[in-house]
């Protein structure tokens, strides 16, 4: 099914940093495929073509191994998001770029997004905190833009940002699970348009909303 990553030549020795990288890659595959609980350290070691104690010479335990990956990909997402919002001064473009960043994140890097969005370890405070903090940082980046260009209050802007991020995350995940029905570009554009229609010109309409769908 999936490529065995790097189980090549079960007898090759590797310098420390190289081995570490490889172990992280193997761990990611297993954690993504099985989730934290169902992932066995034995399988991770096997996948890396190495035996278990080697794993423990690089990471103090299963949890720390997991956290290392979570940290890495959380930062990557926030960074992608920051870049997207800084890539232009046109707010319509910003929305497009922001959604594109979300879709790219979900589409890339061996489905690592599952660690950030679908972790089965969110009951552990350390993990819950990291996930929520990542989510909040993304929302805050967007919130800053909204506040900059409107007179929306801080609290309202924040909640709106949360809603937008939720929209992005959910639709990107859904799109990936049903690959094939719609190309990435079309999906991005569609959802970005929904968001832009929702947020643009917000200041103008405080209570004049009588339009209907049709006509």
Partner DNA sequence: CATCGAACCTACGCGGGAGTAGGATGAGGG
Partner DNA sequence: CCCTCATCCTACTCCCGCGTAGGTTCGATG
Give the number of other Cβ atoms within 10 Å of residue 119's Cβ. 19
Instruction: Please identify, using beta-carbon distances, which residue of 51 and 178 lies nearer to a copy of itself.
Output: 178
Write the DSSP string, 77-96: HHHHHHHHHHS-S-HHHHHH
Task: Report the candidate in 33, 5, 34, 2 with the shortest Cα–Cα distance to residue 21.
Answer: 5
* CA dist., res. 120 & res. 114, Å (int): 10
CB of 166 to a copy of itself, least distance (A): 2
**Interaction between residue 109 and a copy of itself (CB under 8 A):** no
- Helix 62-86 vs helix 125-149: angle between axes, to the nearest 10 degrees? 10
Asked if 98 is part of the footprint of a copy of itself (rule: CB under 8 A), the reply reads: no
SS3 125: helix
Interaction mask 195-214, a copy of itself, x per CB under 8 A: xxxxxxxxx-x---xxxxxx
Interacting partner of 127 out of DNA, a copy of itself, none (Cβ under 5 to 8 A depending on kind): none
CB within 8 A of 153, min separation 6: which ones? none
Tell me which of 4, 149, 179, 183 binds a copy of itself, using CB under 8 A: 149
Question: What binding mask, one character per residue, do residues 34-73 give for DNA by CB under 7 A, x or -?
Answer: ----xxxxx------xxxxxx-xx---xxx----------
> Is the Cβ of residue 42 or residue 83 nearer to DNA in the bound state?
42
**Binding interface with DNA (CB under 7 A):** 10-16, 19, 38-42, 49-54, 56-57, 61-63
């Amino acid at each position: 099914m999936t490529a065995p990553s790097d189980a090549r030549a079960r007898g090759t020795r590797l310098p420390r940093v190289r081995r570490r990288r490889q172990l992280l890659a193997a761990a990611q595959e297993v954690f993504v495929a099985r989730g934290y609980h169902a992932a066995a350290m034995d399988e991770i070691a096997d996948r890396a073509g190495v035996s278990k104690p080697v794993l423990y010479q690089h990471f103090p335990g299963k949890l720390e191994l997991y956290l290392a990956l979570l940290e890495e990909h959380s930062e990557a997402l926030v960074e992608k998001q920051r870049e997207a919002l800084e890539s232009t001064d046109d707010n319509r473009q910003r929305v497009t770029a922001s959604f594109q960043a979300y879709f790219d994140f979900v589409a890339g890097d061996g489905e690592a997004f599952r660690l950030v969005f679908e972790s089965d370890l969110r009951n552990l405070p350390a993990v819950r905190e990291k996930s929520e903090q990542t989510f909040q940082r993304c929302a805050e980046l967007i919130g800053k833009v909204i506040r900059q260009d409107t007179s929306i209050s801080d609290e309202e802007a924040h909640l709106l940002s949360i809603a937008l991020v939720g929209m992005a995350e959910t639709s990107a995940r859904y799109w990936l699970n049903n690959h094939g029905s719609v190309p990435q570009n079309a999906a991005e554009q569609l959802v970005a348009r929904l968001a832009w229609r929702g947020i643009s010109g917000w200041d103008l309409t405080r209570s004049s909303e009588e339009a209907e769908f049709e006509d």
